[in-house]
Amino acid sequence: MRMRADFLLILLWISGSILSISLAPEEVPSGMETSDDLSQAVNVLVLILVVTAITIYLMRKFPSSIRVLYFFAISVGVFLLLSLFLGLDLSISSILSIIVGILTVRKFNLVLSNTGLLLALVGISLNLGVMFSIGVLTVLLVLLAIYDVIAVFWTKHMIYMFEEMRERSGFVPAFLIPIGDDVAGLGGGDLVFPASFFVSMRMYCGLKCSLLAMFLSLIGLLVTVYLNRYRRGLPAIPGLASGCILSLILKDFI
């Protein structure tokens, strides 16, 4: 059962990555611009820390609010996907994104939850991939890899958040696959940040470079999943980030 769960989680990651790459625009959409200011990577990390702190507070004091936050996050991500990258009318995009958000949180269902999360993460990945240059996203991945290690092994708040959110609200920003009475999970950030890098690579270096980054990141993810069988709760971002960085070194050879 564990092998089946790992396979399905990897399949979801691959699906989200391929969708992000295939929908990556050839040029920056109207109304958007790409930043190459490396300090933006620090700003994003600070934002993640603030959102994490707020989420932990709300989870402890108002656990029912997690459902509202999850609905908002799913709806925004799907709206970005439909309006900016699929070109749908804003009104239609708004209605459809709200419907997806409602279906995702109205009654907890793993199929709906994973599908809604996948669509939302693809939308967010595309948005971040356009907003930030390859350099900014590379720095961000390095910072996130360090943060992921600290959050899992030192402060342990990442594991705490996962377990508490699942028990208190049933909604976790992660892909979940049941294993008997337990679940296997892959965090949304483990898709959205590498996929953002793939999008940026597709825009500025071409499809081959983007696929190379995805392939090398997939190897990093597979290694993490394998090691996770011997020590549960290993962070995935370090392996994924390593693949992205290695692709920058090897891209000139393809």
Q: Is residue 31 part of a domain?
A: no
- Number of C-beta neighbours around residue 76 at 10 A: 16
Q: Is residue 32 part of a domain?
A: no
Q: Is residue 94 part of a domain?
A: yes
pLDDT digits (tens, 9 = 90+) for 2-44: 788 889 999 999 999 999 999 999 888 877 889 999 999 999 9
Q: Is residue 131 part of a domain?
A: yes
Q: Is residue 190 part of a domain?
A: yes
Q: Is residue 69 part of a domain?
A: yes
Segments forming the whole domain that contains residue 237: 2-26+37-253
| Residue among 30, 47, 9, 18 nearest 184 (CA) | 9
Distance of CA 21 to the CA centre of its chain: 14
Q: Is residue 201 part of a domain?
A: yes
pLDDT digits (tens, 9 = 90+) for 123-180: 999 999 999 999 999 999 999 999 999 988 888 878 778 777 777 666 788 898 888 7
Q: Is residue 240 part of a domain?
A: yes
Q: What is the domain count for the chain?
A: 1
For the chain, the first-to-last Cα distance in angstroms comes to 38
| Residue among 47, 48, 52, 42 nearest 157 (CA) | 52
Q: Distance between CA atoms of 23 and 156, rounded to whole angstroms?
A: 35
Report pTM: 0.93
Q: Distance between CA atoms of 194 and 184, rounded to whole angstroms?
A: 20
